[in-house]
Amino acid sequence: MSDVPLPLDLLDPAVFDVHDEVAAALRAGAAVVALESTIISHGLPRPENLRVATEVEDIVRSRGAVPATIAVLDGRVRIGLDDDALDQVAQRDDIVKVSSRDLATIVARGGSGATTVAATSHIAHLAGIEVFATGGLGGVHRQARDSWDESADLGALSVTPVTVVCSGVKSILDVSATLERLETLNVGVLGYGTNQFPGFYLSDSGHPVHWSVDSADAVADIMGSRRALNIPSALVVAYPLPQNAQLDPDLHHDVLEEGLRRAAARNITGKDVTPFLLDHFHRATHGASLLVNEQIIVRNSELAARIATARAASPEVSRSGAAS
């Protein structure tokens, strides 16, 4: 054991509540996967949200990693949720969508909220969790030229050294502009088993990725190099759905056009845009997009668990007990 304190030991116990199982895994240098909670509270409808959240935790465990779903409940940042806490995130009406900038206010006021990719990455990194799974990242919205709506996920990923497994960015966004921003912001992007950037509901966004990997070990190697090089930004592992599992592209096109029209007509802005469009998809496709979204999250979590396991087995991590 090294005498350097673990990131975990530096968390203020007045603010953070780390689940015993997660703390034990981090102390042992074992595999842990961070999971966001906005997807549960605002990305998926009830009651499917709780079922999917549980399924995701189960698949992470089945691959030998410990799931650490992150949320704020009654002013405490919870890292790893028990059944009751997961249930609260899924069911409570007072759960707000919490991005990085909202975290301190929610905590100080004793409020409750579900963390976005931006906020979850920040907390995962504070706790020393290196791998994080989600569905699709936020990014540049299609009307950004007028609205300036760009997800805080991008800014957060540029300053947070975590590895995020996702199916690209949400297809409701301007994917090409988002890829340009990821480049500007120094966020690493790897295609997993593909040379094409995935398109969330769609297997292929139509844009290439410049680096491709084919195994969890290859991702773990790159994570090791990034640490040695002290790269301060995130690494995005973009994992597409197989073609036969994607949403029908014509249906996707029509539903998105209609959703964007409705969002504009109803003056939906700011952090309500993404939940509004995802909800529109789930309704307008009669649940087809929900099924696709579920598969995306489950597959990404499964891969994240394999990457976390590969990383935990790498000599650098095993030697020190845990990465510092």
Find the binder of ligand PSU among 69, 88, 121, 151 (CB under 6 A).
Answer: 151
Q: Summarize as ranges the residues that interact with Mn ion (CB under 5 A).
A: 149
Looking at residue 41, the DSSP 8-state letter turns out to be I
Question: Please, which residue, 48 or 153, has the CB nearer to ligand PSU?
Answer: 153
* Contact set for ligand PSU, span 32-71 (CB under 6 A): 36, 38-39, 42-43
Question: Residue 48: which of Mn ion, ligand PSU, none does it interact with, CB under 5 to 8 A by kind?
Answer: none
Q: State the Cα angle at 319 between 316 and 320, rounded to 5°.
A: 90
Pick the closer one to ligand PSU by CB: 155 or 249: 155
Q: Using an 8 Å Cβ cutoff, are 70 and 87 in contact?
A: no
Cα 7–chain centre separation: 20
Report the nearest approach of Mn ion to the CB of residue 249 (Å). Answer: 25
Other beta carbons within 10 angstroms of residue 279's beta carbon come to 17
In this structure, which amino acid lies at residue 71? Answer: A
With residue 212 as reference, give the H or E element that holds it. strand 212-213
- Asked if 117 is part of the footprint of ligand PSU (rule: CB under 6 A), the reply reads yes
Check residue 246 for interaction with ligand PSU (CB under 6 A): no
Evaluate whether 321 touches 2 at the Cβ level (below 8 Å): yes
**8 A C-beta contact, residue 289 and residue 247:** yes
| Catalytic residue list | 36, 170
Q: What angle do CA 186, 192, 195 make, to 5 degrees?
A: 80
- CB nearer ligand PSU, residue 4 or residue 104: 104
43 contact, one of ligand PSU, Mn ion, none, CB 5-8 Å limit per kind:
ligand PSU
Site string for ligand PSU, 252-291 (x = CB under 6 A): -------------------x--x---x-------------
Number of residues in contact with ligand PSU under rule CB under 6 A = 19
Q: What is d(CA 14, CA 244) in angstroms, rounded to the nearest whole number?
A: 48
Q: Footprint of ligand PSU on residues 213-232 (CB under 6 A)?
A: none
Rounded to whole angstroms, how far apart are CA atoms 268 and 167? 25
Nearer to ligand PSU by Cβ, of 69 and 309: the residue is 69
Distance CA 5, CA 322 (A): 10
Q: Tally DSSP H helices, then E strands, for the chain.
A: 14, 13
Q: Which residue is nearest to Mn ion (CB)?
A: 149
Residue 27 beta carbon to ligand PSU: minimum distance, rounded to whole angstroms = 28
Given Mn ion, ligand PSU, none, residue 42, with its beta carbon under 5 to 8 Å by kind, binds ligand PSU
User: Of the listed pieces 123-131, 146-154, 244-252, 284-292, which binds ligand PSU according to CB under 6 A?
Assistant: 146-154
Taking the C-alpha atoms of residue 226 and residue 221, their distance in angstroms, rounded to an integer, is 9
| Strand stretches in 80-234, DSSP E | 96-98, 113-115, 131-133, 163-166, 188-192, 196-199, 202-208, 212-213
Q: Give 167's DSSP letter.
A: S
* Of residues 102 and 149, the one with the C-beta less far from Mn ion: 149
Which residue sits closest to ligand PSU, CB atoms considered? 135
> Measured from the CB of residue 117, what is the shortest distance to ligand PSU in angstroms?
3
By CB under 6 A, name the one of 112, 194, 293, 301 that touches ligand PSU: 293
Question: Should residue 138 be labelled a site residue for ligand PSU when binding is judged by CB under 6 A?
Answer: yes
- 293 within 8 A of 135, measured Cβ to Cβ: yes
The C-alpha atoms of residue 202 and residue 200 are separated, in whole angstroms, by 5
Give the DSSP H or E segment for 317.
helix 315-320
Task: Give the residue with the Cβ less far from Mn ion, 149 or 302.
Answer: 149
Residues that bind ligand PSU (CB under 6 A): 36, 38-39, 42-43, 116-118, 134-136, 138, 151-153, 271, 274, 278, 293
